Every structure is written in C-alpha cells, then in structure tokens.
Structure 1
Amino acid sequence: MSDPRTPHTADGHVPADQDLESRGSTRSQRPESQAFKDFITSGWAPRADLGITPLREVPFTAVRRARLSERLPGARLVIPAGPLKTRSNDTDYRFRPHSAFAHLTGLGTDQEPDAVLVLHPVGTGAGDPGADGVPSSHHAVLYVRPLAPRDTEEFYADSRYGEFWVGARPSLDDVETLTGIEARHIDELRDALAKDLGDGGVQLLVVTGSDEGVETLVEALRAETSTGTEAEVTDLTDTTERSPSPREDLASLRNLAGAPGTSSAPLTDASLVEAASELRLVKDELEVERMREAVARTIEGFEAVVRVLPKAVAHRRGERVVETTFDGHARLEGNAVGYETIAASGEHATTLHWITNDGELREGELLLLDAGVEVESLYTADVTRTLPVNGEFDEVQRRIYEAVLDAADAAFAVAVPGTKFRDVHAAAMEVIAARLEEWGLLPVPAAESLTPEGQQHRRWMVHGTSHHLGLDVHDCAQARRELYLDGVLEPGMVFTIEPGLYFKADDLAVPGEYRGIGVRIEDDVLVTEDGNENLSAALPRRPDDVEAWMASLRG
C-alpha cells in the first residue's frame, strides 16, 4: 500500500537531496496534475449516515468526569487519547486510546487517535450538569480531527487520516452525539489551552505518558507564561496523611488536591495522573458489566484452546497453536487480547511472563495458559488455568496444583469489604509456606519464612497474589500506595487472585520430581457488599472438575 505524500521527480525517482526521514516513502506514484485533483474531488454522492447513536457510557462518563473535577478544582485538565504509533516506516500499529481517556469519554476500540479531552475550569456550579449527585466545576470539550471534506487533499492523499485510506471519520456533530461531550476541531487546541494562563491564572495539568506532542505543547505554554514559581511545585505524592478510601468525603478530596484556601502542596501533572488512576479503583455498574463480558469471552477462548490441544501436541510449535487459537478468538469476539498471551508448556511454565510461545506441547506435561480478552469497551479479563496436556494430572502435578488452589481459596476467604488489599496476598502466602514446609523444601519453619526477615518461600513464588483489573490488565497502577496496596477493600473493586508455584528444571533446592513444573491459578474477583464474587467461576478450577471439563470438550 503506497504512501501518496512522497516528493518525486517526473520520472518517479526521489530527489537525490531528499532527507532520510522522508526517503522511507519512496513508492508513491500519485499524480500531481490539477486535472487529477479536480476529478478525484468531484462527482461524489452525499455521504451515507454513519448511524451514530449515544454510547451507553454517556451518563457514566459524566459522573466520572464530575468526580475528577471535584478532585482537581480550578485546574485545566488535559487528557490525550494518544497518537498513532509507527510500527515500521509508513505503517502504524492499530490504535488504542489511553485508558484515562477511554474511561472519561467512553471511546474504545481504535477510535479517535490524536483526540484530546480537556476539562476547562468554570465557576463553582457553572460547569457541566452534575450527574449522580456529583457537581462539576469543569466544562468538558473533546478536541478531535473530524471528517475532512472531499474537496481537500486529506480526503484522498493522507494515508493516516484520509477517507480513501482509513474510512470515514465522524464529524464533530457525530462525536458530540456519541459521547455527550462538546466537540471542537483539534486545530483549536493550542488557543484553548493557552486561555487565562499565567500568574494568578489557570493551572494547566496534563496526563503524561500518552501523547508527547501534547505534553510538549503544554510545556511550551507553561514556559511562555511562567513567573519563575514553577520550580517550587512539588508532587502531590510527597505529602503525608492521605485518605484511606477512594470514596472519601468530597471536601477532603478537595483539600488533598490543593484547592484554593488549603495548605496542601500545589498540583502537578502527577496529581492528575494519580487522580485519574484512583478514579478507577471502584468500578461503576457499567464497568462491572463490561468486566463480566470480558470474562465470558475469555472462558470461551479457553474452551477453544482445549479443543485444539491434539493439534497443538502434533505441531512442532504447539504453544503457538494455543496462542493463535486464543488470540484469534479474542479478535473475533472482542477488540483484541488484553495483554500478550502466555502459553507456557512444561518448563516454560516456570517463566512467569513466557510470551515467546514457540515450544512443543508434550503428553504428560502441563500447559499454563494465562490469557484475557479485551472487549470493544477496552475492559479486559485476566485468567490463568494450568491444564494437563493429556487431560489428567499425575500425582506430583496434582499435589502442587492442589497447594496452589488451597492458597487461592484462602485468598478468596479474606477478599471481603473492610479487609486490606495486602491481606489477600498474606492469606495465600500462609498456605504456600505451609505446603512447602510439609514437603521439606523450606530451610526454615514456615512461621519464620513468613516474617519480613525471612521470605524463603518466595523463591518459588516471586510475584504478588493480586492486582487491580479493568481498562488495563494492571489497572490503577498510578494510585497511591495507601489506596492500593494498603487500601481497604470496597464493593465494586475488581482484582485478580493468582497464587502459583514454579519449580525450575535446574532448581537443586527441590527433588527431581518437582523440577520443570509450574502451576498458576488465576481468577477475577469482584468485591460485593457482603463478600465477593468469582467472576471467572464458570471456568473449572478444581482438579477433578478440570479433568472432566477437558474430557467433555475433547469428546
């Protein structure tokens, strides 16, 4: 597929003095004649209606934006979707918007590269209409690249954005209908961000790590209006005594955010990144629905894998058969995989993030499959099952598997409202340490190993037991420690429970029968008002049930 934007001579050659950057597009043969331009931009029927209707997310994203507004009053908040990313030369990766942007707009899949959501501060109570009882002191505007008219060169000549190349983009009216947010042309972004900046004016905050171009623009605008006080700004994470809950009283949140009249540290970009991340710690009703959908599609993918295990065993790269089966299912039934699929057979299962997936599947060994479907809304599941390739666990495999399962069950027992997040991991580790002691593998008693000064049991499980889950497989990663690791569990939180045991083939600290075996069991849990729900419970996890399930699928 040619790039039409390359300079060339009349005989089709690239000029000798063309710089190397533009020389990567040497294949263009697009005509430059006025006759061509006149002809290709005329004679088109009116565009068909794209059938745009409001997203289901509209009322939910209004609440999310209002809560972010309450957290960071008075500042102009800039949340970029992110740009297209070059894969090689003139080809791009499929676009996925930044998770904070998706969460606050409802736009998923590959929608609106380069778009920027801006929350403009307004007088208290004069912002966007409050939702769910949460007032807003900001007015949201989406700055996007709308559909170009057919008499423009972009229409036929721009391989990144042109309708001829990537299809029709939504108009500004379409974007407003879809999201419920005012839409403006991206060309207006600079002036919009620059308004009222300066000494005593509006502070500009941007979500970093999403769009380098937008960050550069923000820095330039700050430099233009700097009064020399910017160097004194400190990160919000340097302050002490934070809220123990993401659902705190809004007045306390305002105080933490450095609202006028308070003595807390000034706001920084990190304040916005942190707030956007913490906003997702407790899922709303629609987010939980999206998570259920992601888990359901993921379970179907596991079923598809079990059905192709005979084919995988027969192939020289059986792990790749497993990977492509699941990944193909994810693309057909969702948006994509939520992360690179781990299809680890035998000794490969002892490598925690094995994604090369080029090994054989052998009868008598185990397959550790860690995979998740990301649905169209970009919410992803994260599930692991360790399966006997031939459909039956042997004695040692079952012993290790049951120890991991007992650890998972212990973690589920404490994953209830009021418990600290870190206690989920601690419960699992108590079981893991006890089993290792029973098997004579620990060099010290389990009680000593469980102390901070010990931790010898972690040789065989170096990862944590849980992480939050949602739009990102490791969701809410920029949240403060006191709200994440030391946070108290609340209804609406979604996270994984995934203990494991991994005995490498060259581990001389364990008997030979254990070596080369890796087991992990991972489920997605929703904290409820009276306990928790295993969202992935429909996927068998007890060894007898796993064997029966595999037999039923393989006929």
Structure 2
Amino acid sequence: MNDAETTQNSASQPLEERVNNRSQRPSSDAFKAFMASNWAPTPEHSPEREAVAGYAATRRHAISGQFKGERLVIPAGPLKVRSNDTDYRFRPHSAFAHLTGLGVDHEPDAVLIMEPVEEGKGDDGGHHHATLYFRPLAGRDTEQFYADSRSGEFWIGPRPTLAEFKARLGIATAHIDELETAITKNVGAPEIGGVSVRLVRKVDENIDALVDTARYNTAKDPDTLDLGVLDALDDKLAEALSELRLIKDEWEIAQMKIAVAATVEGFTEVVKSLPRALTHHRGERVVEGAFFARAREEGNELGYDTIAASGNNATVLHWTRNTGKINAGELLLLDAGVEAESLYTADITRTLPVNGVFSDIQRKVYEAVLEAADAGFAAARPGTKFRDIHTAATTVLAQRLAEWGLLPVSVEEAISPEGQQHRRWMPHGTSHHLGLDVHDCAQAKRELYLDGVLTPGMVFTIEPGLYFKNEDLGIPEEYRGIGVRIEDDVLMTADGPVNLSAALPRGSADVEAWMAGIYQDVEAQSATTD
C-alpha cells in the first residue's frame, strides 16, 4: 500500500472509531462467526426481592402524590470520559438511586420514568406507573458481547437482565431502545390532551435534548415557548426529590451506619500509616491512600475526595491535593468518608497529633472546638431549628476567641448579624444534611433546610472548627499553622441526637490513648513477624 492509499484509508475512518484502534480487533466474517460460537449459556436464576425495594416504592409513591398527571423522567446518567477511551467509575445520580434502590455501577444510561395514570390506579395505589429503562445483557451470540468495551460482557462482565431487575426491585422494566418513545409520546399542554413532562436536568445531556425537542415540537407556537417556565417545572421536581431525602427511612439509616462503621475502620488504618507517612515526601498521600484502600475494600468508593491536611494545610478548608509532607509535632486534619455499596456516605473529621500527643497550644484550640461541638449537640433537639446548631457552636468559639484576645470586638458584637468577626477563623457552616450525597438535600427550600425543624429521621453533621493560617498576622505566632475540625455524623431521634460516629474518640486525652493503643498493636505485630 502506498502513502496515498494509507492517507486515504485513514481519512475515511470515522473519528469516533479511531479511539478503538488500539484493540486491533479483526473484522472478518470468519472471526465474527467464531466469536459467536461455543459459549456456555448464561446461567438463569431467580433473584430474591431486595430489602430496599419496598422502601424505594414508598419514596416513589410520595413523589407521585406531588405530581399527579405529569410524566416524571429521572435519568441515572451516562458514563463520563476521563481520558480518551477510558471512563470514570460510574455512579448514578442520587435521585435515581433513591427512587430505584440501585447503587454501584449497574445502569449507565438507564432512566426511570413515572408515567401518569388515573388517580389511585398506579403502583401501590399511587398516580403513576414506574418503569426502569436500561440496556440489559447482550446475548453471547451478538457482536456487542465482544465488541462493545462499554457494555459488552467480554469487557465488563455480565449485566442483569430485564427480568432480574424487575424481580429484585419490584419495578417494571423495559429495553432502553423503547426509551425515546416513552419520553416523547403525547407530550404537550394538558389542555389539549397532552402530557406535561418534568425532568431531572443536567444529568444526561441526551435526555435533556430529547425532552426539550419534544416540548418544542408540540408547542402551539414554538416561537413563544417560554423556556423559563419549563425550567421552573423541572426545578420543582429536583427540589421535591431533594426534600424527600430530608427524613431517612429505616433502610437508609442502616446504610448510614454501615458507611460510618467502614469509615471508622479507615481512620484506624490512617493512624497505622502515620509512621510511614512521616518518612515520605508526600506523607499526606500516604494517609489518603491508607483510607482509600479501606473505602474500596469495605464500600463502593470514597464519598468525596479525602482531605488529609497536615500543618498549615489544615487551615485550607478544601485541601484535597494532599501533596504535603507530614512532620512530627504537627496536627493532621483528616476529613474522609466511605461510600457504601448503596451509595450512602459517611462524613467524619478528626484532628490528630501526628506524634500521638497534643502540644499545650494545640490542646487549647482542640478543646475549644470540642466544646463548640458539644454545644451543637446540646442544641440539636427535635423541634428546634437546624440553624440553632450553628448558632450554639459558633457562640462558644466566639467566647473562646475573645478570652484569647483575638476578637477585635465584644462577643455580643461579633455574633450579631452586623458583626461576625469570629467567622474569620470559622468561615463555614456547622452542619449539613448527609445521605446519598455528602451534602445531601442541597436543593431543598431554605425553610425546610436552614430554617427547617429538626425531625426524627434526619441525618446531619456537626462540625465546628478553628483555622489559624500561617499568613494571619492578626493573631499571635503561637496559633499560626493550627487547623482543627471535629465532625460527627448525627441521627436525630425522638429522644434527641445519636452520634453515629461515637466509636471514634473525640476528647483530646481519648484521642491520644486511642492512637497509642494502635501504635502498640502495630509494634506488637511487627515484633511477632520479625
């Protein structure tokens, strides 16, 4: 073949196919026939109904009651490219996971559609019939089996069948090839016999485009179509789905406990790793890796990027680079959470003395933060407002800052809306809801979140901190480079708050004793091995 023929053949190959050139897969008919032959049949089994199925059905029933007569479209989302032909590990959108009960990586491109039916004639006496649309296992006699690196069993392993998902989740299922019709049929204004559609947007661009096109094509006058009104319809669905997660059911609470328990184990592994971290030029990465290994062993993934911040890095609120060295005598602020297979995540922070013992000034700052956290717990009672936790915790911090001579004004002036000078060293909120998202329920209305009433079944964090940067010339030198945060995961019950992460020590002396015990165990194991 001459150079001209090579250039012509290259130019004629579609660009999207070129990313697969590395596989060098044959395309002959003989190869295709051979690949389709002599495979054992896919084993058939009758899966049991999953424990989450009934809870997910209850959640769908609640949403159905808010959107009678409207089609609801909730995508899982597609795979996302990380680099050329490699994808990020898939995680479905939280609203999809909440309404289906599906976690991990089964269902890229899947969509849950809740189709309106006659009132009271839907699933479980609701007003909708739910169907899960997804791409099931391709038969081993198909080219997809070995040719599709994103969905072929040869590449990624088996996928559940339509019947398996239906049996496991109690949801009707359909092939994804039927999805376009299911989304677009009869779309239009209700007054002319059409169906109004609400969509969880910005999850799957293809689904966004499909819904927008259907709305445009069925509008009485496309030129006057008010996209702002339609976006508001979709925003209302996102808001309702977020608010639905404010109160966790029994199954969700159990998942939160699983995530927290795995996270506690991860913190133990971090303490074990500290001797090696002290000798490594990227000690923070050693810490990050130790926790990540536990997250992958015990759960699905990290719930969020780990903050492993030593020394002055601990004063950077979202320090996730974790490129720093860890030095003896510093504090290590570790903010980390394991995401369970169900996708529910913990979110815990402890601040640890790297050498196992707090210095006097470190202990002073630490105990002030602990006192603030305890004040937050004391304020958290059923019937009080969510924002009261923050007020109680930051008031304590303002009082200590004043005692130390760091506040330029009185405590009363600092905590007033017109003041807030204490927030220089505690700039974030003290609490956030926790669940499928590390910052769960974020689209909920303000009156149900910040101004909401604490109610049994809510799960949230309490996490005050103080951050004294090396660059802060407004404080004495002895404080500089100290960052402390203590964060616990809290379940509200009828009797008050329950600290789900209480297995991790909080008091300074308890932290020191805990770390010493771990070091002794490591030394004993090392001696036995030697």
TM-score with structure 2 setting the length: 0.94
* Counterpart residue number, 1:52: 47
Q: CA deviation at 1:189?
A: 0.9
* Counterpart residue number, 1:64: 59
| Correspondences of 1:74-473 after superposition (within 5 Å) | 74-130=69-125, 136-200=126-190, 201-228=194-221, 230-231=225-226, 234=229, 268-473=233-438
* Counterpart residue number, 1:34: 29
Q: Helix, strand or coil for the counterpart of 2:74? A: strand
Conservation of the 8 A alpha-carbon contact between 2:189 and 2:196: no
Count, aligned residues: 512
Conservation of the 8 A alpha-carbon contact between 1:346 and 1:518: yes
Q: Helix, strand or coil for the counterpart of 1:97? A: coil
Counterpart-to-counterpart distance in 2, 1:188 and 1:503 = 58
Conservation of the 8 A alpha-carbon contact between 1:503 and 1:518: yes
Q: CA deviation at 1:18?
A: 3.8
Q: CA deviation at 1:10?
A: 11
Query: 1:162-192 CA deviation, whole Å, 9 max, x = no partner?
Result: 1111111111101101211000011111111
| Alignment-mate amino acid for residue 514 of structure 1 | Y
| Alignment-mate amino acid for residue 504 of structure 1 | K
* Counterpart residue number, 1:497: 462
Q: CA deviation at 1:49?
A: 3.3
Percent identical: 62
Conservation of the 8 A alpha-carbon contact between 2:184 and 2:210: no
Q: CA deviation at 1:21?
A: 4.6
Conservation of the 8 A alpha-carbon contact between 1:386 and 1:521: yes
Query: 1:378-415 CA deviation, whole Å, 9 max, x = no partner?
Result: 00000000000010011100000011001000010111
- Work out whether 1:521 is the aligned partner of 2:516: no
| Alignment-mate amino acid for residue 36 of structure 1 | F
Q: Helix, strand or coil for the counterpart of 2:352? A: strand
| Alignment-mate amino acid for residue 226 of structure 2 | A
Query: 1:57-108 CA deviation, whole Å, 9 max, x = no partner?
Result: 0000000000010111111000000000111111111100000000000100
Conservation of the 8 A alpha-carbon contact between 1:407 and 1:432: yes
Counterpart-to-counterpart distance in 1, 2:510 and 2:120 = 56
Deviates more, 1:489-498 or 1:304-313: 304-313
* Counterpart residue number, 1:239: none
Q: Helix, strand or coil for the counterpart of 1:505? A: coil
| Alignment-mate amino acid for residue 512 of structure 2 | E
| Correspondences of 1:503-514 after superposition (within 5 Å) | 503-514=468-479
* Counterpart residue number, 1:481: 446
Counterpart-to-counterpart distance in 2, 1:495 and 1:227 = 46
Counterpart-to-counterpart distance in 1, 2:168 and 2:85 = 30
Q: Helix, strand or coil for the counterpart of 2:498? A: strand
Counterpart-to-counterpart distance in 2, 1:235 and 1:341 = 38
| Alignment-mate amino acid for residue 341 of structure 1 | T
Q: Helix, strand or coil for the counterpart of 2:11? A: coil
Conservation of the 8 A alpha-carbon contact between 2:106 and 2:159: no
Conservation of the 8 A alpha-carbon contact between 2:247 and 2:456: yes
**Structure 1 214/461 Cα, relative in aligned 2: closer, same or farther at 3 Å?**
same
Counterpart-to-counterpart distance in 1, 2:7 and 2:61 = 55
Counterpart-to-counterpart distance in 2, 1:10 and 1:32 = 20
- Which consecutive residues of structure 2, in runs of 5 or more, have no partner in the other structure? 521-530
* Counterpart residue number, 1:250: none
Q: Helix, strand or coil for the counterpart of 1:114? A: coil
| Alignment-mate amino acid for residue 213 of structure 2 | A
- Work out whether 1:535 is the aligned partner of 2:500: yes
Counterpart-to-counterpart distance in 1, 2:99 and 2:202 = 17
* Counterpart residue number, 2:528: none
Conservation of the 8 A alpha-carbon contact between 2:216 and 2:225: no
Counterpart-to-counterpart distance in 2, 1:210 and 1:441 = 46
* Counterpart residue number, 1:258: none
Deviates more, 1:44-53 or 1:205-214: 44-53
Query: 1:508-550 CA deviation, whole Å, 9 max, x = no partner?
Result: 0100000000000000011100211011011000001101111
Counterpart-to-counterpart distance in 2, 1:13 and 1:417 = 73
| Alignment-mate amino acid for residue 293 of structure 1 | I
Counterpart-to-counterpart distance in 2, 1:233 and 1:70 = 24
**Structure 1 16/387 Cα, relative in aligned 2: closer, same or farther at 3 Å?**
same
Counterpart-to-counterpart distance in 2, 1:199 and 1:440 = 65
| Alignment-mate amino acid for residue 298 of structure 1 | T
Conservation of the 8 A alpha-carbon contact between 1:14 and 1:26: no
* Counterpart residue number, 1:133: none
Query: 1:97-153 CA deviation, whole Å, 9 max, x = no partner?
Result: 0000000001001121100000000011100014xxxxx101000001011122221
Counterpart-to-counterpart distance in 1, 2:262 and 2:505 = 15
Conservation of the 8 A alpha-carbon contact between 1:12 and 1:29: no
Query: 1:393-447 CA deviation, whole Å, 9 max, x = no partner?
Result: 1110000001100100001011111111111101111001100000000000011
Conservation of the 8 A alpha-carbon contact between 1:74 and 1:202: yes
* Counterpart residue number, 1:259: none
| Alignment-mate amino acid for residue 195 of structure 2 | V
Counterpart-to-counterpart distance in 1, 2:262 and 2:57 = 28
Counterpart-to-counterpart distance in 1, 2:491 and 2:319 = 27
| Alignment-mate amino acid for residue 196 of structure 2 | Q
* Counterpart residue number, 1:253: none
Q: Helix, strand or coil for the counterpart of 2:10? A: coil
| Alignment-mate amino acid for residue 86 of structure 2 | T
Query: 1:205-230 CA deviation, whole Å, 9 max, x = no partner?
Result: 11012111111111111111112474
Q: CA deviation at 1:234?
A: 3.7
- Which consecutive residues of structure 1, in runs of 5 or more, have no partner in the other structure? 1-8, 131-135, 237-266
Deviates more, 1:218-227 or 1:17-26: 17-26
Conservation of the 8 A alpha-carbon contact between 1:52 and 1:177: yes
Counterpart-to-counterpart distance in 1, 2:49 and 2:497 = 32
Counterpart-to-counterpart distance in 2, 1:232 and 1:371 = 40
